[in-house]
Every structure is written in structure tokens, then in C-alpha cells.
Amino acid sequence: MSGDPSILLTIAVLGGTGREGKGLAFRWAKAGYHVLVGSRTPEKAIKTAAEIVQLLDGASSTVGMSNLQAAQQANIVVLTVPYASHRETLESVRSALNGKILVDVTVPIVPSKATKVQMPPAGSAAQEARDILGENTQIAAAFHSISHEYLLTDDFVDCDVLVTGTSKETRTETLQLVAAAGLTGWDAGPIENSVVLEGLTNVLININKLYHSTHAGIKITGVNKF
Amino acid sequence: MSGDPSILLTIAVLGGTGREGKGLAFRWAKAGYHVLVGSRTPEKAIKTAAEIVQLLDGASSTVGMSNLQAAQQANIVVLTVPYASHRETLESVRSALNGKILVDVTVPIVPSKATKVQMPPAGSAAQEARDILGENTQIAAAFHSISHEYLLTDDFVDCDVLVTGTSKETRTETLQLVAAAGLTGWDAGPIENSVVLEGLTNVLININKLYHSTHAGIKITGVNKF
């Protein structure tokens, strides 16, 4: 993407007061995008947005509002709510997503057994989003396994981002957001492949637990992208 | 595992005349294990076994035979057949696997669309194997994404091996085979997580195709195992 990204694209981060959402919002605000932090509780979103502006010494137009307002005003909408709020949040912003891209970060974790892959009947959270939103919204899935601790710093993140999506164009646009966040992304194919991206989080939680780590991630090897 | 592994463990590689199977058989033979190469066509297995012995300058007891004979004589059985032969091969050796570990390397690739994850109704090839074999056989899944070209050389393989299994002990035994093959392995949790390991192969095929590579793999980052 060339030129000033803030003119081109407004990004909404629904559930943007959570740790993952706040970290991603920070990275995009830092890259110059106009970022809308959304929350069920607008006051919390306003507070998080103010924190991000402060972290960037005032050099950001990030603002907070309700999830619905954020979805209405954005060109691209990123969903970072816990799986328990996935369907409810999507249904509440459905009409606002017409003609837009939804980037789903959700992992369908069962809290009592987070180390075991347990997908919803649709096959993955991203496919469930597709079923809820219908054909007028393009869906991508990405950013599932990025440790939020890294995102709020300038640290190098030693974890690649796999991106699936309902169309090649959707994946390409999402990969631009990955790059804007300072991360390395890979086109991981059609939306049906989302089970791998989401389930990898369960696998990495298992690895963290067994090998006494907190930030297990993955890197793609054997490919020279450039 | 301490001492001479060839005394402790005989490994059968069913479908061992294929590229992946031959590469794994070579690595284990090189590590000192007694390896049985199995095939539907015993003459082919005998030829492959002779090639492995030759590659090791005669310093190996690797022999070839039918899949059933190999399964009967081994302590641990590795399945490296194409998905089209998965069920048929398992049914043909079912009784020989009683009380043993089956390490399933199979990826349910649909040849016309190899870049898209398409799992069988059981959830993954490994879970299908569990359903076919019943409770008297422990199942592990591993080695799905290792490029066979690397295995037949002494080259460093820049791809980690994720291991799922029906029990902790099964995963631990399989991780010993991973280490014996000169590879880095990780306990990836219960057999239900196999969809991630198998589907990752579809994702890596997509990456190979889009980024003009042939050996895309993955490494786990952020964890110090030792």
C-alpha cells in the first residue's frame, strides 16, 4: 500500500479492549492507520483508545466507541472477542459488515480443555462467521497465535501469521495489515483451512504447558519470499 | 532410549517403498534400529531394503517383506501409504497391530485440490485409523510435512515434527523415533489435534505453490526445550 494509509483505510478492532485487540490496534495506529477501538462498553473502548494515543505520544487518531459504531465507520473490521462472544458480536454488527472484510482472530477454545482442538460444527470459527454473515461479507482469518505481550512493544515478533480467506483479494488485503503490524504473513489458502490456523493455537498452548514456555509460536521455513 | 536401539525396537514402515517411507526407514536404519520395509508388493520392499543397506555401506539389518509380515514382526509400525490406500492397508494389518503403536504419517490429500484442507468424517486420517483399529492399538500421528528429499541425505532438516497421540506414552515413544531420525519433535497433544498436523500439509502445499518453493516447513519458536 502506498501513500498515507490513514486516508485509505479505517480499521475497526471489535473487542479492542482485550489484550490481543489492543495490541493489534496499537500496531496499526503506529503504522499510521485510522483505528477505531470497539467494545460492548463504549467507555472502556474510549479509555483503551486514549491509552494507545498516549503510547504514541499523541501521534494517533485512534478513538473508542461501540462495536456497532466502529463496524459502521470502518473499511475493514477485525474481530478479537473471546469465542463465547463470537456469534453474539457478529449478529449485532451484521448489517454494518455488508460489502466489507471481516478479519476473524477468534479461536474456539474450550476453557476447561484449551490444549485440545474442538471446532464448532461449521468447521472453524471463521467458517461460522461466514455462515452468520452471508455472502455479502468477505471473511479472513489471521493473527491467532501472536502473543499480545509482543504487540504493545516495538519488539520483534518471532511468530509468523498464516492468513486464510474467502477470496484471494481478501487474503491479499489482510496480508497488508499483517505487514503494517510489523509481522511476517503467509497466504494459507481458502477459508476451509482456518481449522489449521485456529487449532494451531491449541497445539501451541499444549507446547507452552509441557515445555514451560509462554510464547510458543511458529515460523515458516524453507521459503525465500523475496 | 539408552543402549543399542536395535535390540529394543523393531520398526516396520508400511508403504516403505514410497519416498517418505524410504526416507524415514533410512534414517532409522542409520540410527541402528532394525527396520522392516513393508509393501503390498514384497519384491519392491526387498529392493528398497537392499538400497537402504547399500546407502549405509552394508551396516544395516534392514529387510523387505509384505506389509502384513512387517506389521507382525515389529514393535512399532509406521504407516506411510497414500490416503487412497489408508483404510485398506489398516484393515489388512489390523490384527497384527494389537497391543502395538501405529504412527500414522497419512495426510488425507484430495489430489485435485491439494491446497485445501478436506478431512474425513472421523476428523483426520489418524482418528480414522483409531476408529478402524479399535482400542487395542495406540495411535500417534507425525512426520506429515517433512520433505522426503532431505531424509535420504545427512542434511539438516529445517522442519520440526509435531506429534499427537492417543496417550502420553505413545507420544513419548514417537518423539524418540523423531529424535532418532535426527529431527526436532514436539508433543502436540491428543489425537484430536491431528487435524492441525495433517492440514498443515495442505497449507504448506499452498505456500509452496504461491511462493515458488518446494520445501516449505515449520519451526516452533519462543520455546527453549533444553
- Residue B150: the pLDDT is 84
> Which member of B200, B214, B223 has the closest CB to residue A196?
B200
pLDDT by residue for chain B (226 residues), tens only, comes to 444 554 568 999 999 999 999 999 999 999 999 999 999 999 999 999 999 999 999 999 999 999 999 999 999 999 999 999 999 999 999 999 999 999 999 999 999 999 999 999 999 999 999 999 999 999 999 999 998 888 988 777 889 999 999 999 999 999 999 999 999 999 999 999 999 999 999 999 999 999 999 899 999 999 987 6
- Please list every residue in chain A whose beta carbon sits closer than 8 Å to the beta carbon of residue B215: 222-223
At B158 the three-state DSSP class reads: coil
Cβ pairs bridging A and B (under 8 Å): 134
> Which member of B207, B217, B223 has the closest CB to residue A207?
B223
- Please list every residue in chain B whose beta carbon sits closer than 8 Å to the beta carbon of residue A147: 222
A137 CB near a chain B CB, below 8 Å?
Answer: no
- The type of residue at A98 is N
B120 CB near a chain A CB, below 8 Å?
Answer: no
pLDDT by residue for chain A (226 residues), tens only, comes to 444 554 568 999 999 999 999 999 999 999 999 999 999 999 999 999 999 999 999 999 999 999 999 999 999 999 999 999 999 999 999 999 999 999 999 999 999 999 999 999 999 999 999 999 999 999 999 999 998 888 988 777 889 999 999 999 999 999 999 999 999 999 999 999 999 999 999 999 999 999 999 899 999 999 987 6
- Residue B1: the pLDDT is 41
A84 CB near a chain B CB, below 8 Å?
Answer: no
- Please list every residue in chain B whose beta carbon sits closer than 8 Å to the beta carbon of residue A225: 211
A156 CB near a chain B CB, below 8 Å?
Answer: no
